[in-house]
Structure 1
Amino acid sequence: MSIHKIAALALTLGLSAGAMAQAPDIATLSAPVVGNQGQTIGTANFQGGAHGTVVRIALQAGALTPGWHGIHFHSVGDCADTAKFEASKSHVNHSQKKHGLLNPDGPDEGDLPNVFAAADGSVNAEVSSPTLLKGAKGLQDADGSALIIHANADDHHTQPIGGAGARVGCAVIK
């Protein structure tokens, strides 16, 4: 066999091996975001991989007041009590860290960046978190989790929720 045929065969085998490589195992979930009146105000789409979760949030016009809003992962997947969304309990926090992305003793696993509502109250945002979607300590654990949207911005250090205020939106993660 000539050197050219061997090189061509090696190149073909190398390209085939790359094409046969497995795609990463990505878990996906879509959930409606509910407001305090029980109405659907948008959607949250979750993609979970080996090193964390990406959340895309799309809220319709009028969903929120214009400006910055804190968002967090809460420890129970329950949005039934729409007036306050308190059934979702507190932040996901298996590691028992302090609240706040800027806190030297944090962040807890529920901490996320703020999202911005446009002048019409709509939101289109993508945020990421090292918190896993799957697994025993993941967002989709036995009792699920909730994505909570707050009335105000999170300052990322004040305890317990960074001054983010009332819970005005909720999406169940199960």
Structure 2
Amino acid sequence: MRKFKTLSFAACAALAAGAVHADNHGVAEAGADFIDKESKSVGTATLTEGPNGVAIYLDLHGLPPGPKAIHIHSVGTCEDPEAGFVASKGHLNPDGKEHGLMNPKGPDAGDLPNLVVLDDGSVKVEMFTPLASLGGAEGRATILDADGAALVIHINRDDHITQPIGGAGPRIACGVVKAK
């Protein structure tokens, strides 16, 4: 029987990230603390810049079970939980693309794969986006620009094509992305 070594997330992220290049403006890592609509903490995200995109590791709890959409929104605020985090505005989308990973006229830079919340309300997952950069890599949307960005979780899954948000429904959790 073969034995496999397990690498920590930090080790995997470091391998995936490679060297931080000048076009990333030196930003190698960022994080987000998620809150729900009652302003309760529901977990964290760690974002790591790589030469071809950003790895996003989520460690969440206290969410309703089932598939959920998660997107990068264009303004770094979660100041209005009672209103459903609408202050974070729409998706990160400087190129004006249509929404959806499966859309032939998309995707926009805020589009991410769905996540699945387990029956106990938890999520531990790593995803990757080649569409965005923490610090401004050429050809990718900048997450940490002047008004920042937020990661926003919706109540439903994203169908990856319906405009404007893939049928994802109301926003249920939000985390402001901040450089580490």
TM-score range, shorter chain: 0.7 to 0.9
Residue 150 in 1 paired to residue 154 in 2?
A: yes
Residue 24 in 1 paired to residue 25 in 2?
A: no
Asked if structure 1 preserves the Cα contact closer than 8 Å seen for 2:30 and 2:134, the reply is no
Asked if structure 1 preserves the Cα contact closer than 8 Å seen for 2:74 and 2:91, the reply is yes
Partner of 1:52: 53
Task: State the one-letter code of the partner of 1:87.
Answer: A
Map Cα deviations across residues 55-113 of structure 1 (whole Å, 9 max, x no partner): 011112xx211110000000000001012101100000011110000000000000000
Q: After superposition, where does 1:77-88 map in structure 2 within 5 Å?
A: 77-83=76-82, 84-88=84-88
**Secondary structure, aligned partner of 2:102:** coil
TM-score, normalised via structure 2 length = 0.80
Write the distance in 1 (CA, Å) between the matches of 2:95 and 2:51: 18
Residue 95 in 1 paired to residue 90 in 2?
A: no
Query: Which of 137, 141, 146 pairs up with 2:145?
Result: 141
Asked if structure 2 preserves the Cα contact closer than 8 Å seen for 1:50 and 1:132, the reply is no
Write the distance in 2 (CA, Å) between the matches of 1:105 and 1:154: 16
Partner of 1:109: 109
Write the distance in 1 (CA, Å) between the matches of 2:68 and 2:175: 15
Hey, which bits of structure 1, 4+ residues long, moved more than 2 A?
none
Note the C-alpha offset of 1:50. 2.8
TM-score, normalised via structure 1 length = 0.83
Higher alpha-carbon deviation: 118-127 or 26-35: 26-35
Percent of pairs with identical residues: 48
Give unpaired runs (5+ residues) of structure 1: 1-22
Write the distance in 2 (CA, Å) between the matches of 1:127 and 1:149: 14
Write the distance in 1 (CA, Å) between the matches of 2:32 and 2:88: 15
Asked if structure 1 preserves the Cα contact closer than 8 Å seen for 2:134 and 2:142, the reply is yes
Note the C-alpha offset of 1:125. 1.0
**Secondary structure, aligned partner of 2:87:** helix
Give unpaired runs (5+ residues) of structure 2: 1-17, 21-26
Superposition CA RMSD, Å: 1.3
**Secondary structure, aligned partner of 1:113:** coil
